[in-house]
């Protein structure tokens, strides 16, 4: 079972990882978008990390809800509403529940569905969904095999990373990259890349012993 401490570590880990990778994310965005994905997300997660330090919520659902509202009011662009909606739906999915393997699968599924709802994107359109969707599939598979939550998250992180890498060969059909048409092929999607970083942080936080 994952603890509240896991949720806190996950989000702190996101803030560190996004900060460390902000130039890489902006560089990816510069090629097929407008070059601000890293800076915008880093600004949002820095605000999240500060709020987390000032006032740590008591439950994982409250942690994720705080992440959602903070990202929505600080990030802007498309990433703000997309990640905001993903974390808000994720919070709702685990409200009042113990964080066992099934709850982790439900959390990830709700985040994926929230992203699809807000962005109206489908799999294969070179967006965040192309990281969320394989993450959910891999997590579901790990759960079906009876694996514990930390291994469900590890599978999700691997699925997201592979999905993000596979966006390189896709042609963008949503967001600003879609205006490039075929010229968007051959470049990795910055949104899918940041989603993979966020899920890698979730997995790392679980590995570091935040399991009771």
Least Cα distance to 86 among 211, 175, 191 occurs for 191
The pattern of x and - marking residues 110 through 129 that bind another protein according to CB under 8 A reads: --------xx----------
Residues 25, 49, 61, 75: which binds another protein (CB under 8 A)? 75
Cα 51 → chain centroid: 19
Q: Is 35 in the site for another protein (CB under 8 A)?
A: yes
What are the two backbone dihedrals, phi and then psi, of residue 178, each rounded to the nearest 5 degrees? -65, -25
How far apart are CB 6 and another protein at their closest, in Å?
Answer: 28
Is 99 in a helix, a strand, or coil? strand
How far apart are CB 36 and another protein at their closest, in Å?
Answer: 6
* Residue 14 or 72 having the CB closest to another protein: 72
* Residue 34 or 98 having the CB closest to another protein: 34
Residues 4, 5, 19, 39: which binds another protein (CB under 8 A)? 39
User: Which segments of 59-210 does DSSP mark as H helices, in order?
Assistant: 60-74, 79-94, 101-119, 129-144, 149-166, 190-207
- Rounded distance between C-alpha atoms, residue 136 and residue 118, angstroms: 18
Q: Which stretch binds another protein (CB under 8 A): 12-20, 80-88, 105-113, 132-140?
A: 80-88
What are the two backbone dihedrals, phi and then psi, of residue 150, each rounded to the nearest 5 degrees? -65, -35
Size of the site for another protein (CB under 8 A): 33
Residues of span 155-194 touching another protein by CB under 8 A = 171, 173-176, 178-181, 183
Q: Is residue 9 within a helix (H) or strand (E), and if so which, with residue range?
A: helix 4-20
Least Cα distance to 202 among 171, 169, 167, 156 occurs for 156
How far apart are CB 120 and another protein at their closest, in Å?
Answer: 9
Positions touching another protein (CB under 8 A) are 26, 30, 33-36, 39-40, 43, 72-82, 84, 118-119, 171, 173-176, 178-181, 183
């Amino acid at each position: 079972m994952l603890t509240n401490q896991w949720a806190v570590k996950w989000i702190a880990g996101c803030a560190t990882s996004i900060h460390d990778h902000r130039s890489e994310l902006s560089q990816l965005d510069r090629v097929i978008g407008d070059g601000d994905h890293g800076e915008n997300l880093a600004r949002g997660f820095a605000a999240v990390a500060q709020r987390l330090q000032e006032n740590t919520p008591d439950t994982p659902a409250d942690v994720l809800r705080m992440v959602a509202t903070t990202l929505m009011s600080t990030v802007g662009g498309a990433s703000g509403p997309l990640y905001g909606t993903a974390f808000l739906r994720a919070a709702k999915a685990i409200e009042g529940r113990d964080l066992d393997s099934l709850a982790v699968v439900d959390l990830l599924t709700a985040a994926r569905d929230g992203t699809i709802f807000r962005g109206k994107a489908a799999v294969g359109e070179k967006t965040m969904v192309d990281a969320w969707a394989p993450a959910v599939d891999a997590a579901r598979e790990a759960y079906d095999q009876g694996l514990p939550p930390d291994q469900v998250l590890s599978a999700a992180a691997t699925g997201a990373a592979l999905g993000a890498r596979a966006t390189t060969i896709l042609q963008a059909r949503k967001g600003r990259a879609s205006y490039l048409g075929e010229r968007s092929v051959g470049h990795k999607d910055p949104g899918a890349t940041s989603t993979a970083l966020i899920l890698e942080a979730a997995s790392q936080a679980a590995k570091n012993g935040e399991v009771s």
